[in-house]
């Protein structure tokens, strides 16, 4: 099949003006300037509303005395599809099982929230936080102390008014 | 041949020898009846009440572990009644079991977890508080979590029937009954108590060594053979992150049944050593030079030409293939003496309830094969000394896997060529002209010959570091360069080469070995002791 060429019949530049088109475009722009139903979000000056199920970087819950709630059961590294959790369990001086090493690589994390779902003691949570900036890449590997320092609220994973996600 | 009995289990007609229990008969059709107190290596008290099966015509459910089969019997292990029996019994177990699976070391390989998941109730109905015992140190390597115990008394029966050292008993009765030791005696000083951790169906008895170390589902199980004595117990190496985390026994009724000794169980740290030789190194007056395998082997062949007579030091921890290849190389170089050293214990440590099994006096895995290839044992019973002749030898000195830790600084100074094949950085490796890195027991495939001449295979559990290669591969390549047959490409090739050259191994093939091993021809005499 031969290649066909469609000829476009454009007006000659000498015989036409773009003034009318430009004015109609500007009219639309100025109309939006005074539009009361504007949708532009003034982030970061104004924080946007996040979904209650928003999943951001992690938080480790702790007991009143500052110990992590984690019992190093090993379910979160097992279930993690991105393999971003490193856990070494041990026993503390009171005979409790606890994580000697607990690290989450937030770069590798895909924020699926399965670690929070699987946790039998509700220790690890994905949080409602997403604004992460660091000067070095290795700062994105959160260790246990860093995870316990996080003070942002944790996600609800489910909408409380719609627990079965219908 | 025992008289056979025909019966029907779950709709399948089976024929088993008279005297077989229903539980064992059900195994032959692949129907696993849940059980706790029954263990094939011990008596059956029928006290866990979990293996209750429905026998048609019987007025009530029968315990499968003690009821022997009868002609024409019809047994249902998966019927509605059998399942509801088990569901009820399991609910009773969970009245006091703490459900602390997240912090329990048994989690993932726990029979209670499995059975309740398969057949138990979905939700508990208990409202009363559970009884609490806490944790008890039983001494030795064993911790006891009383809350988790299901009172199967396997541990009590192991200590009294198999080890035959009555260290454990059940104290109190009913709801308050608990396993305990006598006064403060504990399990200290017993040599086989690690097995009670293996046979505990739940997490009541756990190993201190393994406490919180790894989750059961993270471990890779590799069949292997214990190297701690010449008994050759069948074991599984449980590995994670390229490290051996623990050793568990592997069933072999001809060697060790279900048991291993505590010494062998805890002797695995050496497999995880980090100070490894990783590249061939040539040492000369101008310094040390790391090189590739091709260069190293060419240099070895070049230097060994006209280097004089050969003396070799083998290790009784090396596999049959390694020793056979060493023998072949020594022969190809014109023949020479092969020596080995091997530590001996004062006494055997027998397991009274299973007479085939003992921790043998010979603390090396493979002295039998070293004897069979014609190597001579030298040195004292602590595995040192005896190498004075080799130390001053003015020909070629080959050392395989002996660290030479007890030898003087001048070992091999007179040698025309001193070649060291080893795994770890050691005094021997520091002195040799040519250091060749080889794989350790856990990093390669091969076979051992145990004290009764049973040849047993072990598999590769860990990845070898750097350029380390199996010794049979290195030595076999050298033998091939000398024009003595093809170079082996696998451990099976190396074994075939050995069985064709060493008389005692004649007629045994790699495929004969299987998972149970094969015993060598008895008529060939062993040199040495």
Residue B178 lies in a domain: yes
Q: Tell if the CB–CB gap between A74 and B211 is shorter than 8 Å.
A: no
Residue A120 lies in a domain: yes
Residue B243 lies in a domain: yes
Residue B278 lies in a domain: no
Please classify residue A39 by burial: count the beta carbons closer than 10 Å to its beta carbon, then call 0-12 exposed, 13-18 middle and 19+ buried.
exposed
B389 and B478 housed in the same domain: yes
The token pair that represents B46 in the structure block: 């029928």
pLDDT band at A8 (very low <50, low <70, confident <90, very high): confident
For residues B316 and B343, give the distance between their C-alpha atoms in angstroms, rounded to a whole number. Answer: 9
B259 and B316 housed in the same domain: no
Residue B138 lies in a domain: yes
B26 and B103 housed in the same domain: no
Which phi and psi angles does B222 have, rounded to 5°? -120, 125
> Residue B471 in 3-state DSSP?
helix
Residue B528 has a pLDDT of: 42
B366 and B515 housed in the same domain: yes
Q: Tell if the CB–CB gap between B102 and A73 is shorter than 8 Å.
A: yes
Residue A131 lies in a domain: yes
CATH of the domain at A126: 3.30.70.3270
Residue A42 lies in a domain: no
B137, B259, B267: which is closest to B192 by C-alpha?
B259
In chain B, the residue whose alpha carbon lies closest to the alpha carbon of A89 is: B212
With contacts defined as CB-CB under 8 Å, which chain A residues touch B134? none
Q: State how many domains chain A has.
A: 1
For residues B167 and B183, give the distance between their C-alpha atoms in angstroms, rounded to a whole number. Answer: 10
Question: Which residues of B have a CB under 8 Å from any CB of A?
Answer: 101-103, 107, 135, 211-213, 215, 217-218
Residue B92 lies in a domain: no
Residue B287 lies in a domain: no
Alpha helices in chain A (DSSP H): 19-33, 75-79, 114-118, 144-149
* Contact between residue B441 and residue B271 where contact means Cβ atoms under 8 Å apart: yes
B137 and B253 housed in the same domain: yes
* Strand ordering across the sheet containing B234-240: B220-225, B234-240, B243-249
Q: Tell if the CB–CB gap between A97 and B213 is shorter than 8 Å.
A: no
Residue B282 lies in a domain: no
Report the gap between the CA of B150 and the closest CA in chain A (Å).
22
B453 and B367 housed in the same domain: yes
pTM tops 0.90, yes or no: no
> Residue B346 in 3-state DSSP?
coil
With contacts defined as CB-CB under 8 Å, which chain A residues touch B215? 73-74, 78
Report the gap between the CA of B424 and the closest CA in chain A (Å).
27
B188 and B309 housed in the same domain: no
- Residue B371 DSSP label: H
- The domain of A69 spans 58-149
For residues B404 and B522, give the distance between their C-alpha atoms in angstroms, rounded to a whole number. Answer: 33
B361 and B242 housed in the same domain: no
- Residue B376 DSSP label: E
CATH of the domain at B510: 3.40.50.740
CATH of the domain at B211: 3.30.70.20
For residues A71 and A84, give the distance between their C-alpha atoms in angstroms, rounded to a whole number. Answer: 18
Q: State how many domains chain B has.
A: 3
With contacts defined as CB-CB under 8 Å, which chain B residues touch A75? 102
B341 and B194 housed in the same domain: no
Residue B96 has a pLDDT of: 92
Helix (H) or strand (E) run with residue B249 in it: strand B243-249
Residue B93 lies in a domain: no
Helix (H) or strand (E) run with residue B186 in it: none
With contacts defined as CB-CB under 8 Å, which chain A residues touch B101? 73, 120
* Contact between residue B112 and residue B201 where contact means Cβ atoms under 8 Å apart: yes
CATH of the domain at B14: 3.10.20.740
With contacts defined as CB-CB under 8 Å, which chain B residues touch A120? 101-102
For residues B400 and B22, give the distance between their C-alpha atoms in angstroms, rounded to a whole number. Answer: 52
With contacts defined as CB-CB under 8 Å, which chain B residues touch A73? 101-103, 107, 215
Q: Tell if the CB–CB gap between A72 and B103 is shorter than 8 Å.
A: yes
Q: For helices B293-304 and B471-481, what crossing angle results, to 10°?
A: 50
With contacts defined as CB-CB under 8 Å, which chain B residues touch A96? 103
Residue A154 lies in a domain: no
Residues forming a β-bridge with A86: A103
Q: Tell if the CB–CB gap between A89 and B101 is shorter than 8 Å.
A: no
In chain B, the residue whose alpha carbon lies closest to the alpha carbon of A73 is: B102
Residue A34 lies in a domain: no
CA R_g for chain A: 27
For residues B404 and B401, give the distance between their C-alpha atoms in angstroms, rounded to a whole number. Answer: 9
- Residue B40 DSSP label: T
Cis link prior to A44 (omega < 30° from 0)?
Answer: yes
* ipTM for the complex shown: 0.81
* Contact between residue B212 and residue A91 where contact means Cβ atoms under 8 Å apart: yes
The token pair that represents B387 in the structure block: 């190498």
B220 and B341 housed in the same domain: no
Full pLDDT tens readout for chain B, 529 residues: 679 999 999 999 999 999 999 999 999 999 999 999 999 999 999 999 999 999 999 999 999 999 999 999 999 999 999 999 999 999 999 999 998 999 999 999 999 999 999 999 988 898 999 999 989 999 999 999 999 999 999 999 999 999 999 999 999 998 899 999 998 889 999 999 999 999 999 999 999 999 999 999 999 999 999 999 999 999 999 999 999 999 999 999 999 999 999 999 999 999 999 999 999 999 988 889 999 999 999 999 998 888 789 999 999 999 999 999 999 999 999 888 999 999 999 999 999 999 999 999 999 999 999 999 999 999 999 988 888 888 888 899 999 999 898 888 888 888 999 999 999 999 888 889 999 999 999 999 999 999 999 999 999 999 999 999 999 999 999 999 988 889 999 999 999 999 988 888 988 899 889 888 889 876 555 444 3
CA distances from B177 to B142, B151, B184 (A): 19, 8, 18
B250 and B306 housed in the same domain: no
B168 and B25 housed in the same domain: no
Residues forming a β-bridge with B8: B13, B74
The token pair that represents B503 in the structure block: 């008389």
- The domain of B127 spans 99-107+122-272
For residues B483 and B461, give the distance between their C-alpha atoms in angstroms, rounded to a whole number. Answer: 33
Residues 1-60, chain A: which have Cβ within 8 Å of B?
none
């Amino acid at each position: 099949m031969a290649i066909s060429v469609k000829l476009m019949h454009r007006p000659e530049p000498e015989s036409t003006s773009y003034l009318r088109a430009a004015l109609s475009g500007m009219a639309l722009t100025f109309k939006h300037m005074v539009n009361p139903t504007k949708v532009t979000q003034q982030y970061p000056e104004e924080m946007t509303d996040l979904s209650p199920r928003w999943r951001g970087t992690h938080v480790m819950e702790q007991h009143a005395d500052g110990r992590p709630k984690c019992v190093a059961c090993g379910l979160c590294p097992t279930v993690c599809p991105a393999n971003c959790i490193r856990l070494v369990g041990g026993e503390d001086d009171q005979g409790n099982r606890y994580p000697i090493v607990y690290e989450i690589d937030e770069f590798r994390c895909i924020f699926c929230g399965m670690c929070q779902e699987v946790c039998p003691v509700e220790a690890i949570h994905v949080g409602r936080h997403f604004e992460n900036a660091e000067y070095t890449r290795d700062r994105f590997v959160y260790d246990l102390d860093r995870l316990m320092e996080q003070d942002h609220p944790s996600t609800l994973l489910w909408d409380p008014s719609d627990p079965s996600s219908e | 041949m025992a008289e056979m009995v025909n019966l029907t289990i779950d709709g399948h007609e089976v024929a088993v020898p008279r005297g077989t229990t229903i539980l064992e008969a059900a195994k032959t059709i692949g129907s696993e009846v849940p059980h706790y107190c029954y263990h094939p290596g011990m008596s059956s008290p029928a006290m866990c009440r979990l293996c209750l099966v429905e026998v048609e015509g019987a007025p009530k459910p029968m315990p499968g572990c003690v009821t022997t089969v009868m002609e024409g019997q019809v047994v249902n292990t998966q019927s509605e009644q059998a399942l509801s029996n088990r569901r009820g019994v399991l609910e009773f177990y969970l009245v006091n079991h703490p459900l602390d699976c997240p912090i329990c070391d048994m989690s993932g390989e726990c029979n209670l977890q499995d059975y309740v998941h398969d057949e138990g109730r979905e939700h508990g109905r208990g409202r009363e508080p559970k009884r609490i015992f806490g944790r008890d140190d039983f001494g030795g390597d064993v911790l006891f979590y009383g809350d988790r115990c299901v009172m199967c008394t396997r541990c009590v029966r192991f200590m009294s029937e198999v080890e035959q050292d009555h260290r454990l008993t059940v104290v109190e009765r009913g709801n308050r009954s608990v396993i305990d030791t006598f006064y403060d005696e504990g399990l200290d000083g017993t040599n086989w108590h690690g097995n009670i951790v293996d046979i505990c169906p739940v997490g009541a008895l756990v190993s201190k060594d393994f406490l919180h170390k790894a989750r059961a589902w993270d471990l890779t199980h590799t069949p292997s053979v214990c190297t701690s004595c010449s008994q050759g117990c069948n074991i599984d190496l449980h590995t994670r992150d390229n490290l051996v985390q623990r050793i568990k026994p592997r069933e072999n009724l001809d060697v060790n049944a279900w048991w291993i000794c505590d010494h062998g169980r805890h002797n695995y740290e050496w497999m995880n050593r980090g100070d490894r030789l990783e590249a061939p190194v040539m040492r000369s007056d101008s310094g040390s030079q790391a090189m590739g395998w091709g260069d190293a082997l060419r240099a070895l062949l070049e230097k060994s030409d006209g280097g004089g007579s050969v003396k070799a030091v083998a290790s009784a921890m090396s596999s049959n293939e390694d020793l056979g290849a060493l023998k072949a190389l020594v022969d190809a170089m014109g023949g020479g003496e092969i020596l080995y050293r091997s530590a001996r214990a004062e006494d055997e440590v027998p397991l009274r309830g299973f007479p085939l099994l003992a921790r043998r006096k010979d603390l090396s895995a493979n002295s039998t094969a070293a004897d069979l290839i014609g190597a001579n044992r030298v040195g004292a019973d602590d595995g040192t000394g005896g190498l004075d002749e080799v130390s001053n030898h003015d020909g070629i000195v080959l050392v395989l896997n002996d660290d030479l830790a007890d030898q003087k600084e001048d070992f091999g100074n007179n040698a025309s060529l001193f070649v060291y094949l080893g795994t770890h950085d050691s005094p021997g490796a520091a002195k040799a002209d040519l250091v060749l890195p080889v794989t350790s027991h856990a990093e390669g495939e091969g076979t051992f010959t145990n004290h009764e001449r049973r040849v047993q295979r072990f598999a590769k559990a860990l990845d070898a570091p750097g350029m380390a290669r199996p010794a049979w591969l290195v030595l076999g390549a050298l033998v091939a360069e000398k024009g003595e047959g093809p170079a082996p490409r696998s451990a099976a090739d190396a074994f075939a080469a050995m069985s064709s050259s060493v008389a005692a191994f004649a007629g045994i093939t790699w495929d004969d070995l299987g998972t149970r091993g094969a015993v060598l021809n008895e008529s060939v005499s062993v040199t040495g002791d």
